[in-house]
Each structure stands twice: as C-alpha cells, then as structure tokens.
Amino acid sequence: MAVTGELHRLDGTVTVRRALERLENGAWRSEGAGCSWARAVAFGWHDVEILNGVPALRRNFLDGVAARLYPSHRAALVRFRQILARRNSVLQRGGADAAAQLGPWDEQFAAVGMELVDRRRRATAALQTEISRIYPCLAGECHKIELSYRCSVGEAAEPAALFAALERHRREELRRGQTIVGPHRDDVLVELDGADARVFGSRGQQRLLALALRLAELLPITEATGTSPVLLLDDALSELDPSVRDNVLREIEAAEQVFLTTPEPLPVAAGGRWAIHAGGLAAA
C-alpha cells in the first residue's frame, strides 16, 4: 500500500460456514480485521445493479459505506443478522409460547436494528452531499439527485418505534414464519430529477449514477479515516460519450491513487501504464 508505505498481501477464502476470512501476511483474521488498512473503492459495471436490482443490493452497498465510516457498524450488522435468524426460528416453530419467546429477541432486534438505521441514514446523507455535486459534473448537465433511506418504521429514530412495529405485525409474522419489518426490509431510493432512477432512468443514466455513487464514497471515507482510499475502476469509460468520458477523467484526478482499466489508450497522462497481451502483463 503506497498510501501508508506498508506492504500487505491479502488473500481470502470462503469456509463451509460461508464466513469470509482474510489471510493477512500469513495470519488468519476474522472479517473486518484488515479493513483498517485495506481501504479501496472499487467500481465495475455490475454496480449498475445497485440502481436497478433488488433492495438487498442497495442495503449491502449502504452497509459497506457505513462500515467504513463507522467502525462499530460491521459488528452491529453481524449481531443483527444473528438476532434476526433466531427470531425467525421462533416464528417458524410457532406454538402457544411463541409470543413469550419472542419478547427478549424483540428488544434486542429493536435496539440493534435502530443502531443500523441511524448509521445508514448518516451514510446516506454523506453520499447525498457528494453525489449531488458529482453526477452533474460527470453528465455535464444540471440534474437534481436525491438519495433517501426508506425505513420500514418511517422517520422514527427510537428503538421503541421498531419494537411497536414488531408487536403490530406479530400475527402476520407468525402466519408467515418470518420477520416482515426491520432494517433487513429497508431500501434506498435514488431519484433523478424527481423520478425513481430504477424505473425511469435510462441505461446510460443508471450506469453513470452507479459510477457517481462509487465516487461519492471517496471524500466521506477520507474524512472519516484520515486516509484517501485507492480508487479501482474496471472499464469505467466504456459506452460513455466522449464529453462524459472527459468529465470522468477530470473528476478522478482528485483521487490520490487510481487504477483504471480500459480497452483503449487513455487520452491523459498516467503515472504508469500496463498492457495485457495473450494473458501477459507488460509496461506500455
């Protein structure tokens, strides 16, 4: 990592328990342990699914940002998923004593759940500040971009609101055997000029919005961590109009380190260039 002057080798594996573990310099570490130094923002065109995909993809994106801004978010997310799984287990079993068994889980679910909601809202606000500037700069046109966190308990901020929602939906949850209200059902609405970009945005607009979302991460992460993340852009310039491509290149000049892949020669100076030919990598 040139940013810190330290060299790390990072590998990964997925265990049979589906828990991601990282191997840092030969030592196994649990998920998130290496994140204090491994700071990068990566973009690929599959990120357009953040805009037009299922709500879980937007929640995952937002949780990734929140975990970088607020160190305790990752642990709270793991704890929330554990509570959710146990609560769902009680709902699936049902029985006359199900309501009594749910009580303790409901309290924990509401407390940890609203912690997640609070940090997600703050992360959304941080992204909003940046993307409202970045997207018009990339597009070269005036546009109004709005990100809004859609919480299943509305604008409430207290655990009591989520606890009350669980009680209101108790009968329906027992019938379905699953938790139907909470942070795991929330969504993020991305609006372009007052319209839902997922529904009304063109493919080109969605692709550019996805790139703008990733670029919007840079400044909040830098301010929160004191370290500028490495920006990794995989074929970010393809299918863009020449003027938009130039706007993207101007925008990323502010990043401290950028790795950009492209099938065509870059029209700007770069610190280093490499070309891939027949599976080999060589200086260009």
User: pLDDT per residue over 11-56, tens digit each?
Assistant: 554 443 333 444 434 444 434 444 444 589 999 989 999 999 999 9
SS3 107: helix
For residues 220 and 65, is the Cβ–Cβ distance under 8 A? yes
* 172 shares a domain with 98: yes
Percent of the residues in the chain that have a pLDDT greater than 70, as a whole number: 83
* 83 shares a domain with 191: yes
* 194 shares a domain with 76: yes
The domain boundary residue, chosen from 199, 217, 235? 217
Residue 54 backbone phi and psi in degrees, to 5: -75, 160
**Is 236 part of a structural domain of the chain?**
no
The domain boundary residue, chosen from 217, 238, 257? 217
pTM: 0.83
pLDDT for 70-101, tens place per residue?
999 999 999 999 999 999 999 999 888 888 89
**Is 5 part of a structural domain of the chain?**
yes
pLDDT for 234-270, tens place per residue?
989 888 999 999 999 999 988 889 988 888 777 665 5
* 4 shares a domain with 69: no
Rounded to a whole number of angstroms, the distance between the first and last alpha carbons of the chain is: 22
* 95 shares a domain with 26: no
* 78 shares a domain with 102: yes
* 201 shares a domain with 100: yes
Rounded to an integer, the average pLDDT of 174-186 is 96
Domain range holding 11?
1-37
What pLDDT is recorded for position 182?
97
Rounded Cα distance between 284 and 280, Å, is 12
- Whole-angstrom CA distances from 207 to 19, 55, 135, 200, 241 are 31, 17, 11, 13, 12
* 144 shares a domain with 32: no
* 70 shares a domain with 20: no
**Is 269 part of a structural domain of the chain?**
no
Domain count, the chain: 2
What pLDDT is recorded for position 267?
66
Give me the helix-helix angle, 159-168 and 98-139, nearest 10°: 120
For residues 243 and 140, is the Cβ–Cβ distance under 8 A? yes
**Is 281 part of a structural domain of the chain?**
no
Please report which residue ranges of the chain form alpha helices under DSSP H. Answer: 49-52, 55-69, 73-93, 98-139, 159-168, 170-176, 197-200, 203-215, 218-225, 242-252
CATH code for position 167: 1.20.1050.90
* 162 shares a domain with 22: no
Rounded Cα distance between 166 and 161, Å, is 9
* Amino acid at the residue 141: E
* 155 shares a domain with 97: yes
* 169 shares a domain with 86: yes
Rounded Cα distance between 181 and 166, Å, is 7
